[in-house]
Structure 1
Amino acid sequence: MSSNILSKVLFKRAVRATTIASGLLVFASILPALAQASNQHYQVQEFSDDYSASITAIEDEDSESNSIINVINAKTGQTLISQPASLDIEYELDNSKARQLGEKISANIANRHYGEHSVLIYDDFNFDDQKDLALRDGRNGCYGGPSYQVYLKEDNTFVHSDGFTELAQGYCGFFDIDKDSEILSTMSKSGAAWHQFKEFKVINDEPVVVRIIEEEWNNRSLLSITESKKINGKMKVENYEMLPPYAEQAENPLPYIYMLIVDNNKKMVLDSQYKDGSEQLYYAFADEEGRIELLYEGQFDYDKTKKTLSFTNRPVLYKINNQGITVKLPNKTVQLKAQPKSVFGSLDGVAQFKNVRVK
């Protein structure tokens, strides 16, 4: 029997017989035969003084994997992890050339959420001042993005973590690591209109979700937010609306009909929505973070001569012009002045809507 056929037979038998023990996939009995039988053997870029990694290409019609990632103790030569993976080796080699790494496969790249990700990430995931390992297993992330198996450093080896691996499967890119706040975060999406953001604290070496924000575009072109936050061990749910993010730059068109920012950095916008069979104007007043404090969708009056839009949200009268917002309460009047150069759009554009009376 040829060495190639023998190696394939040995590999198939080992895959069927191997189970995950302490999260480590061990193929010690067949790796020497595979290494000798295959010329497709690639070194991973140096990422540690203590460990090295290599990738061996394999061919097995019965397996979804086309490679094995090996992590080796640099001092003893012991193979600590042998993990099957589905990799695009040609892409990795092209990327290595672009980064002037020669034939070495790049490591420690995680450009969240849709950017480049390397086959190996070496960092402290559980905030215990020891660097852990994440090894690419394929493209099980959102929209075919990268996914990883995660191994936490424990004594002189690495132990597979189901909890951390779950954070590296199904999301958009590898999870974000904020070492100052000791928060891990993920993002997932469905189309362009729905996103979900999760934040995790590490408790007893397990990631525990402490905050979830789901945002979805609504018919007013605002973001409907459902925020779940863990308080005293229970998730508290709150629903609200937000203005969409907007960079005030010349190349970015104004997403609203009219907008101004008042002295306390709160923002007012006028925009339209399709309601009751026609396009109608609405008013939204938001705090510094963009969270809507007041939303009005009723009847408006526009004075073309004074270029002033007004409406009554009983018992309060609001008047809007380029100078700011006048708020008339039953016993007092408050003037919210517009910041210099903070007015965008024109109030003349409001006259076209069905719920605006023009005089």
Structure 2
Amino acid sequence: MSKVKTFNALPKVLSNQIFRAAITLLALPILSLPYSALAQASNQSKQYQIEDFSDDYYATIKDYTDKQFSELNYIIEITDAKTKKTLIAQPSSLAMDYELQDSASLQLGGKLSTNIVNIPYGDSSVLIYDDFNFDNKNDLALKDGRYGCYGGPSYQVYLKKDNSFVYSEEFTELAQGNCGFFDIDYDRQTLSTMTKSGASWHKYSTYKVINNKPVTIRIVEEEYQAKGLLFITESTRVNGKMRVDNYQVLPVYDPKTDGKSPYIYTFHLDNEKIMVLTSYFVGDSEQLYYVFANKEGRVELYYDGPFIYDTKQKTLSFTNKPVLYQVNKQGITVKLPNSSKLLKSQPKSVQGSLDSLAQYTNVTVK
């Protein structure tokens, strides 16, 4: 689990190109030129302290106004506590009223909080001080604005090196455009991100740190289909190359938390596989379809052709040549030309009813 404190993390208003140009003009000279050059560009009328996060460094936020980069309104400064040398001066676009909201609740006396991260949404601090690359040295992430997905927080990342910090383009990329900050799993020594587009598409990425850079080892993309299934594209790194696997799954459904079953009829088999009857609309007509999935919900058979429902036998039948399938409360009877087998249902797992199948346009009732 991540060591970053979790209270409740948020996430491009201006482009990354504009921000990088400002960093080039302002932040990089701090490492090689006297600080006075930057100080002349900074408006000192307001200054905010950041909560103590280290015995070795402290941080302040100062007003900054530049006509060329009008969206950048503050500079976050990281200073060496012993030498008083400013190590980082990062221009950022911050809404200070919002950033100060946690101060009162945490009784910080007006100082801004640090290390609040909730993934993917919620409060997020201006400064995150933690070990991002698993070298047992705490690194820094400084908020540059709200350029993440749906206006959520974004960060510039600096890795600890000797007595200072070095800007990391690769780690910064993980903290830009995703939903919140990247998650840190210290047990597995992995990083992960999530991004989305609306409610129907999600992307989950997992990274290993190799040669001090995050390398993608797994990507899972989920896209909801009109027929109620999830289409999954799973990419996994094997021997240095990404192997891609495409498949469909049933959406996760927990009757204890989600309430009534979304399916017309469903049951589990003795081997924990799942049978589902559900429906979807084609134009103005509603059609039935059948899904057979393994215990993880991965679809093994999908069928949406013609069905026959026998009201006397209370049995639904369909043919997926050369196999005939018959579904009733006993389970699924699978008939081949020279054999037949009953896949028994678990009686307590049965949900729904077969009594109203006549309403579906691809079901013939006899």
Please report the TM-score for the alignment, with normalisation by the length of structure 2.
0.85
Q: Report the secondary structure of 1:151's partner residue.
A: strand
Task: Return the match for 1:79 from 76, 81, 86.
Answer: 86
3-state secondary structure, aligned to 1:241: strand
Identical pairs, percent: 55
1:265-302 alpha-carbon deviations (Å, 9 max, x no partner)? 32221111234873211111112222111111222222
| 1:54 and 2:60 aligned | yes
Contact 2:27 2:88 in 1 (8 A): no
SS in 2 for 1:177: strand
2:356 counterpart SS class: helix
Moved more, 17-26 or 193-202: 17-26
Q: Aligned partner of 1:159: which letter?
A: V
Query: Which deviates further from its counterpart, 198-207 or 51-60?
Result: 51-60
| 2:207 is the counterpart of 1:200 | yes
Q: Is 1:331 aligned to residue 350 of structure 2?
A: no
Which residue of structure 1 lines up, in the alignment, with residue 325 of structure 2? 318
Where do 5+ consecutive residues of structure 1 fail to align? 1-14
Contact 1:57 1:67 in 2 (8 A): yes
Whether the 8 Å CA contact 1:25–1:81 is kept in 2: the answer is no
- Relative distance call for 1:109 and 1:349 in structure 2 (3 A) is farther
Instruction: Tell me the CA shift for residue 252 of structure 1.
Output: 3.2
Secondary structure in 1 matching 2:99? helix
CA distance in 2, matches of 1:293, 1:336: 17
Matches within 5 A, 1:1-359: 18=25, 21=28, 28-30=35-37, 38-63=44-69, 64-249=71-256, 252-275=259-282, 278-329=285-336, 330-338=338-346, 340=348, 342-359=349-366
Deviation at 1:24, TM superposition (A): 5.7
> Cα distance 1:175–1:22, how it changes in 2: closer, same or farther (>3 A)?
farther
Deviation string, structure 1 residues 176-204 (Cα, Å, up to 9, x no partner): 11222222111111222112222212110
Q: CA deviation at 1:138?
A: 0.6
| 1:27–1:219 Cα change, 3 Å | farther
What is the CA-CA distance between 1:21 and the residue it aligns to? 4.1
Aligned residues: CA RMSD? 2.6
Pick which of 21-30 and 64-73 moved more. 21-30
For residues 212-265 of structure 1, give each alpha carbon's deviation from its aligned partner in whole angstroms, at most 9, with x where no partner exists.
Answer: 222211121111122222222222222211111222126534322222222333
Task: Indicate how the Cα distance of structure 1 residues 332 and 82 shifts in structure 2: closer, same or farther if over 3 A, else same.
Answer: same
Alpha-carbon separation, structure 2, partners of 1:44 and 1:229: 40
CA contact (8 A) 1:242 1:290 kept: yes
Shift of the 24–343 alpha-carbon distance from structure 1 to 2, 3 Å rule, reads farther
SS in 2 for 1:172: coil
Q: Distance in 1 between matches of 2:79 and 2:131?
A: 18
